[in-house]
Structure 1
Amino acid sequence: MALETHLIDLVFPGETNHHGTLFGGAALAYMDKLAYIVAARHALTDFVTASCDQIDFAAPAHLGEIVEVTGRVVRTGRRSLTVETDLEAESLRTGQRRLCSRGRFHLVAADPAVRVPPLPAPQPADAAEPPPPLRMVELVFPDQCSHRHVLFGGYAQAVMGKAAFVAATRFCGRTVVMAASRGMDFIAPVHVGEIMEVTARVGAVGTSSMVVEVVATGENLQTGERRPAARGSYTMVAIDDDSGRPCPARREGAGPSV
């Protein structure tokens, strides 16, 4: 199977219609953005979207749910390639996932001299490998940057805090809130047009709290060069939906970390 890239976000009110479900246009924007990232990562060059196949919306994504878009290159040509994307919604309370939409995006290299490399050989999965951490990507746009065209620290913190929220929610299966940011180190800038890949892993777990370690990596889509950009640690607390008070953070039978 081709290497997959994941874009994870939360459905906020500004992206929903009067039914409380994600706008179809917002879903398409997520899928198209990820298709660009997947294509640029594969060929290390800029792409434009030429077309997409018919996209069917099989199920809605509701306000407050997690949406995860997964993309992979499934075809390559001389200057073009095809990226298949799946958009799934995930309930914060139950962890149940459902496929909302699937589509294929056909992208063409912006530089006519570029030749798209072929698909890599499939790599066998190692059943002994530990569960991977949460991994998500964000494309850096100009309105998220300073006058020096580098990502604002506040926006980086927002993305990393979101990753901590998703990781903690998936770990405990409950509503979580951020109790503290235990420290943030900015190591290197992330520039306009680059991606920021964020990984989050739950470490120490207390009675109702979880410490989530988050690392951000900057990646140049023209060269493939990657560098540590920031790291931070967040304390998240599980709360009961009815009382609003802290409640056990561990699922029954869960291990010390994920």
Structure 2
Amino acid sequence: MAGVVRLIDMVFPGDTNHHGTLFGGVALAHMDKVAFLAASRHGRAPFVTAASERIDFAAPALKGELIEAVGRVVRVGTRSLDIEVELVAEALLSGERRLCTRGRFTLVARGGAATRLPPLAPSPTGSEAEPEGVLVMADMVFPPQTNHYGTLFGGDALRMLGKAAFIASTRDTRKVMVMAASDRVDFATPIHEGEMVELAARIIMRGNRSRRVRVELWAEDLLSAARRRAASAEFVMVATAPAHFGK
């Protein structure tokens, strides 16, 4: 839905402090990114972050948990708008979710790119929910992820596809899931630097201990709103028991 963007990622050890919790700066970076994507989807202009209100951290996100940042447009001016962002941590196995922080970001359309932004449209109740049975998550392509042609490396696209399959299968089973196989992967079009990517993952087959997940990767030009399916893949994810060392 325009104006609302959902970014989901894992808390890896490199993003945590000596307490095993997510660095505040990394959390703020996720929130700023999702605010930028939500603003760009609404205004279709080159935005920059102008300000953020006070941000209080109510709860930590722990190593190995999911973090989900949801950004939604809450105010639109002539050349600026406000995005409210919530950052939620989710335990993989229990599904427990807790609000880590909430913030409000003001972004401004740069230069003379936009004389007037589209007005804020009222949203029906429940419109921010994901389509039933589909995990939808967004990201953006930055220069370090591109090759000498200025397009996304195939390996980075595979990483995004695999992460979506992992999250979708884990949420479906609430078990420790590992990738057992990667079936056919089709790359239809290149994804360019500065484009938004949106992944849609769906469970298409359930076994006793396995899940087959189909993931589609869509590319979107943030200024023109042109969208195209860039890649698709199927993965087999298998539940495995946590290791018990020394037993």
TM exceeding 0.5: yes
Query: What RMSD, in angstroms, separates the aligned Cα atoms of the two structures?
Result: 1.7
Count of matched residue positions in the alignment of Structure 1 and Structure 2: 242
CA distance in 2, matches of 1:73, 1:16: 29
Question: 1:134 aligned to 2:135?
Answer: yes
Q: Is the contact made by 2:210 and 2:237 (CA closer than 8 Å) also made in structure 1?
A: yes
Aligned partner of 1:82: which letter? Answer: D
Q: Is the contact made by 2:90 and 2:97 (CA closer than 8 Å) also made in structure 1?
A: yes
Superposition TM-score, scaled by structure 2 size: 0.94
**Aligned position for 2:183:** 182
Question: 1:168 aligned to 2:138?
Answer: no
CA distance in 1, matches of 2:145, 2:121: 33
CA distance in 2, matches of 1:180, 1:216: 18
CA distance in 1, matches of 2:201, 2:175: 17
CA distance in 2, matches of 1:5, 1:103: 15
Question: 1:224 aligned to 2:225?
Answer: yes
Q: Is the contact made by 2:45 and 2:113 (CA closer than 8 Å) also made in structure 1?
A: no
* Offset at residue 80 of structure 1 (A): 0.1
* Offset at residue 51 of structure 1 (A): 0.4
CA distance in 1, matches of 2:47, 2:222: 11
Distance 1:130 1:27, change over 3 A: closer
Structure 2 SS opposite 1:207: coil
**Aligned position for 1:111:** 111
Question: 1:19 aligned to 2:27?
Answer: no
Q: Is the contact made by 1:2 and 1:120 (CA closer than 8 Å) also made in structure 2?
A: no
CA distance in 2, matches of 1:113, 1:178: 44
**Aligned position for 1:85:** 85
* Offset at residue 93 of structure 1 (A): 1.1
**Aligned position for 1:200:** 201
CA distance in 1, matches of 2:65, 2:142: 24
Q: Give CA-to-partner distance per residue, 1:72-123, whole Å, 9 cap, x none.
A: 0000000000000000000011001000010000000013351211112323
Distance 1:193 1:206, change over 3 A: same
* Offset at residue 23 of structure 1 (A): 0.1
Within a 5 Å distance, the mapping from 1:229-244 to structure 2 comes to 229-242=230-243
**Aligned position for 1:39:** 39
Superposition TM-score, scaled by structure 1 size: 0.90
Structure 2 SS opposite 1:98: strand
